[in-house]
Amino acid sequence: MKKLFVLASIFLGMFASAQTPFYHPFPDSNACWNFNFSQAICIFGYSFEEYSIIIEGDTTINDQIYHTLNTPYVDFFTNGTCTQINGSGYKGAVRQDIQNKKVYYIPPLSSTEHLLYDFNMGIGDTVQGYIAPNTGTYDTVIFIDSVLVGNNYRKRWFTNDWYGIYFIEGIGSTFGLIENSPGYSTDANTYGLECFMQNENALYPDTNINCQLITSTGDIEDFTNKVHVFPNPSQGSFFISFDQPDNIRKIQITDLVGNIIFQSEIKHQKQFSTEKFPAGFYLLKVSDQYNKTTSKILISCP
C-alpha cells in the first residue's frame, strides 16, 4: 500500500501547481499542530495516541529569544505489551532565521541548538539536522511543489517516499514536528499530522476540518459513545451508526501512516465495503462540526 501511495504522490507532484514565490515564515505564536502516533511492534496488542503541540510563550536561552513548545495532554489507548510513548509538558524551544529560511530547535533538558528545518533545500539535497533519520539511512528531496494552506499556496518538499513525508513551509514535517524521520527502516513507529491551525483557524489539510486543541478525553469519549462501528474486525464490510442521526458527519479512513484511503460524508447508518482494502489495521476518523473521534479498525482476510 505504501508503494501505491508513493507512485500516486510522485505522479501528483509532477503535475502540481507551480511553486509559490512567497516565503511563509514558521509561526511564532497562536499555533497548534495535532498529531497521531502508532507503535509498530507490540506483542499481542496495539497502541494509538493523539496529542497537540502548541507555541506557548517565549524564553531566553544562550542570550537568544526562543518560542517554547508544549503538549497539554496526550490521549492514548494501549493494550498487550504496548505502553504510552509520548508525554505531555515542555517539548523544547524554537527560533527562526527568516532571512535564511531556517528554523532552529533546542530540545528539553538541553541548551544546544540544532537545525530543525531548512526551507532552502533543492531537489536531491539531503535532509540535515535534528529530525534527519538516525537509522543509518537518509532522506533526500524527491520533488518540490506547492500545497494549499488556508487561502494561500505554500511550498512543500517530498522527502521520503516510503513513509510519505512532506516538509511544508510555515508548518514543518507531516511526520512529526520534532520527530526523527524513520528513513527507510521497516516497522518503524509512525507519526501523522492530522491538522494545523493558527489564530484558532484550521488551515491544513483544509479549512473545514475539525481541528481542536487536545486537552482532555472528555469530549472525545462522549462523542465516541454515540458512534457505533461493527463488526470490528471486519471481513468484507462494516457499518457505522449514530445515536443522533441528524448531523452530517465526515468519515475518513487512513492507514497507520496517515495516508487517506477513503472519505465520505454521511448522515445516517451506512455500510462500507472493505473488500478492496489489504488486511491490516486502519484508523477510522469520524467528525462533525463540534466533535471528533478516532478508533482503530482491523480488516482481516475473509
Give per-residue pLDDT as tens, 58-92.
999 999 999 999 999 998 877 677 788 889 999 99
Mean pLDDT, rounded, for 170-174: 96
- How many CB atoms are located within 10 Å of the residue 47 CB? 21
d(CA 113, CA 106): 5
What is the mean predicted confidence (pLDDT) over 240-245? Answer: 70
Q: What is the mean pLDDT of the chain?
A: 82
E strand or H helix that includes residue 210:
none
Question: Average pLDDT, stretch 162-175?
Answer: 94
Q: Which residue has the higher pLDDT, 104 or 77?
A: 104
The confidence score (pLDDT) of residue 218 equals: 44
218-299 folds as: Immunoglobulin-like (2.60.40)
Q: Which part of the chain has CATH 2.60.40.3080?
A: 218-299
CA distances from 133 to 36, 126, 137, 141, 293 (A): 19, 10, 6, 13, 31
The span from the CA of 82 to the CA of 126, in Å, is 33
Number of C-alpha atoms within 13 angstroms, CB side, residue 194?
A: 28
What percentage of the chain has pLDDT greater than the value 90?
Answer: 46
Over residues 171-178, mean pLDDT? 96
Q: Quick check: 253 pLDDT over 90?
A: no
What is the pTM (predicted TM-score) of this model? 0.70
